[in-house]
Every structure is written in structure tokens, then in C-alpha cells.
Amino acid sequence: MTQTHIVPGGPGEPGSLWLDGGTLADGTGRDPVRNPGILTAAGRITRIGGARPADAEVVDCSGLTLTPGLIDAHVHMACAPFDPSLRYDVSVAEMAADMFLNCEQTVAGGFTTVRDTGGIDRGLADVIASGKMPGPRILQCGPVHSQTGGGGQMGAEWEPSHLWDQHAIPGLVAWALLSDGPDELRKNVREGFRRGATFVKLLVTGAVVAISTQQPSDTQFTVAEIAVAVEEANAKGTYVTVHAHNNRGIRAAVTAGVRCVEHGSQIDEETAALMSEHDVALVPTLSIMERLVADPAAMGLAPSYATRLSRFAQTARDALLTARAAGVRVGLGSDLLGPDQRDRGRELVHRAKLESPMRALESATRINAGILGVGDDLGTIEAGKIADIAGFAGDPLSEPEVFADRDRVALVVQGGRVVRHVAS
């Protein structure tokens, strides 16, 4: 995987911190260590253990479990509220307010980095990186790429596709660029890069939530089309990830050279073996399925979506375990949509129940960092890494519900700055 270089954000250089006490679960999968002592300087972790230095600001971490800042590898900060009919009944100002609230709540929940898989423009990432507004570090693909009538196309089935382009408030409404044929896709992938994308996302199978004339069982884009996107991504030193549910679509994408599969809710053993052979990662997204099944109306969707989604909720769990058994790197993503994205930590709870709390933590930290191409800087608490650290009151490794309880996210350090500290 290509390494994306990132620098700690915010104005000025952060001072030195000494995180005193607590239990360290460092994201490597090693057994937790008690009372380690973590020193940071200029935004990076400089030492673990040793004596408390005289000149660092001391942060009392007693009673906390310290983990790497969590990473959500599949978010949509700007689908707020999510409405596949795109009726234009929400103003841009309201959408922006929801978006910034989502950002603030995300970092307050211990997530210091996210990968936005469609719907924002680079402006949001820049605003957060500048320190103007609180939020997670954001890697983003800008617009997603879909074929005409594909999973990225929303609005009404009777709306002529050429009018889709008029849903054009880049980053807030026009979340997909439609392409048909390698040349058109190449142009649109380049357009995404021109707008500041740091990776590429294609929809290569139908989506659960999109125009009703497409189905999750459809394959979308040809191998030749996908290969062109891969070629363009490689030219920019980055990678292609794909939205995909069914096996035919996933195999086509793996054959064409993509590096990651989102959702992957129907992966069978043959597909899992192919992904493993090509080192293609999987980012399962369990939270969104649970939420949509439980209350489609709250997410702005028609009740009919519940039936469609309940099928995917179970197969997604089976697919995850099948991929894991084949040796696929399995990341973690919530795919939350809409204005209320406070429950991002719930994804770790789902994963802890399915596998183990430690596995969930590793997926949300070290493995996700590798998938995002930022593993040299993020994902573990080790000397040299950027100082992104979350502190949970209690022990989420024995009580995973703690990951989803924002009242127990007592400490968030981002780029060596304390951005949340709730004294006990």
C-alpha cells in the first residue's frame, strides 16, 4: 500500500505531554501494559515508559485504558440528512451545520481519523486540519464514481440522468459523478483528483440505498473501466476502493487491481481467497445496516428499505468471518449517514461481539491505518508515531460497550494536543 504522508494539524507546535498512569492497549495486539507513561513532543510520541520528565504537561490517566486514536475507515460526514430523493428541502447552511456537528461528535467519541468514502469536498478536510473547527483528521475521495443507473445515482428514476449533474453543490449534494466507458471514467477520476481527492472510490455493484431500478445483485462498471481508475490512482500514488456487495462484482474489481472492498456483505470462500491472494482489504460496515433495519424513517428512508437491508445484516457478518478465515486484512467502518453520527463507537461493539474486543480495537487502529495508507504515522502507540490517543474510563477490552459510551471517552489527544479531557 502506498504511504500517505500526513502532518499533525492545528496552528503552532503542540507542547510536550506526559500521560501518567492508566493501562495501555497500544493497537499492536500485544497484551495491555499497566502504568506505562507516554511522552509526546511536537505532536509525536517520543517515548513510552521511563521517568516522568520535568518539563512536560502531566495528564492524569489513572483509571483509563489508553488506545490509539480510533479510525473509522468508512464515513459520510456530509450526507446530512441522508435523503435518496434529493428533494432540496434542506439548505446548504443546515447541511454544513450537521456536517461540523458530526465532526465534533466524532472526535469526542475517540475517533481522531476518518476516511470519508463519498460526499464531502476537500474544504471540510482543510477546515479541520487548520484547527478552525474540531473534528477528526479526514482522508477523502470527494465524489464517488458510479455508472449511469448505478449505486451512486439517487434522485427519482424518471429524472433524466443528464439533469443529475445539476445536483451540483460539490461536496454536499452531488456526491457521485456518473461515467460510462473507460474514457469518461478516466476524466471523472481526474476531476476528483483535481478537487483534492486522496483516493478513489467506485461503486462496482448495486447499492442497497439508491434508485430502485438498480439492485445490490447487479454488477456495475466493466473490468476495463475499473482498470482505468486503478491506472489513474496509481499515477497519483494512491489506490482504488470499491463499494461492493456481490461476489461477481468483487472478483471483477480484484482482477482490475483495486486495493480495498467496502461492505463486502456477500463474500464467499472463493472470493475471500482471491482477495487474500491479491492482498485486497475489506472494510465491513455493520452499524449502518443495524440502524437502517431498526428505523429506516429516522434515516430519511422509506419503510421498504428495512426488508431489503435485513437480508444484508446477517450475510455481512458471515462474510466478515469468511474473509478473516481466508487471511484478508479486515478493517472497520460505520458508514453512518444522516445528521446523528454520535454512535460511531457502536461499530466496535458489534465487532467485539462477533470476534473479540481486541480484534475490534486492532481493526479500528493498526489495520485501518494500513488500509488508509497512513500506517507509518498512525494506528499504534509507539515512539515516532503521531500522538493520537484515546482514553476510556474503565476497560473496553472486558466491557466493549465502553467504546460506544461517549461519557466514558475521558481523554482524546490529537496530534499531541488534548482536545477532550473529562476529569473523573
Site for Zn ion in 308-337 (CB under 5 A): 335
Q: Are 225 and 245 in contact (CB under 8 A)?
A: no
**CA atoms 201, 166, 77, 135: torsion sign:** positive
User: How many angstroms separate the CA atoms of 35 and 37, rounded?
Assistant: 6
For residue 100, what are the CA distances in angstroms to 19, 42, 173?
Answer: 29, 26, 16
CB of 287 to Zn ion, least distance (A): 11
Partnered with residue 249 across adjacent β-strands are: none
CB of 307 to Zn ion, least distance (A): 20
CB of 263 to Zn ion, least distance (A): 8
For residue 65, what are the CA distances in angstroms to 24, 25, 35, 166, 382?
Answer: 6, 7, 10, 49, 16
For residue 393 the three cell numbers come to 474510563
What x/- string results for residues 276 through 315 when contact with Zn ion is judged by CB under 5 A? ----------------------------------------
CB of 76 to Zn ion, least distance (A): 6
The owner of cell 450475510 is 315
Q: How far is CA 382 from the centre of its chain?
A: 22
CB of 191 to Zn ion, least distance (A): 20
CB of 170 to Zn ion, least distance (A): 18
Q: Which is nearer to Zn ion, 296 or 415 (CB)?
A: 296
* Site membership for Zn ion, residue 26 (CB under 5 A): no
**CA atoms 103, 109, 113, 118: torsion sign:** negative
CB of 130 to Zn ion, least distance (A): 26
Q: Which is nearer to Zn ion, 18 or 239 (CB)?
A: 239
Q: Which is nearer to Zn ion, 144 or 390 (CB)?
A: 144
Residue nearest to Zn ion (CB): 335
Q: Which is nearer to Zn ion, 129 or 242 (CB)?
A: 242
Count of residues that bind Zn ion according to CB under 5 A: 1
Q: Which is nearer to Zn ion, 26 or 335 (CB)?
A: 335
Rounded to the nearest 10 degrees, the angle between the axes of helix 269-277 and helix 247-256 is 10
Beta pairing class for 260-263 and 240-244 = parallel
Phi first, then psi: give them for residue 383, nearest 5 degrees. -55, 135
Express the helix, strand and coil content of the chain in percent, nearest 5 each. Answer: 35, 20, 45
Site for Zn ion in 332-361 (CB under 5 A): 335
CB of 99 to Zn ion, least distance (A): 15
Q: Are 380 and 27 in contact (CB under 8 A)?
A: yes
Q: Which is nearer to Zn ion, 8 or 151 (CB)?
A: 151
Q: Which is nearer to Zn ion, 46 or 285 (CB)?
A: 285
Q: Which is nearer to Zn ion, 8 or 119 (CB)?
A: 119
Q: Enumerate binding residues for Zn ion (CB under 5 A).
A: 335
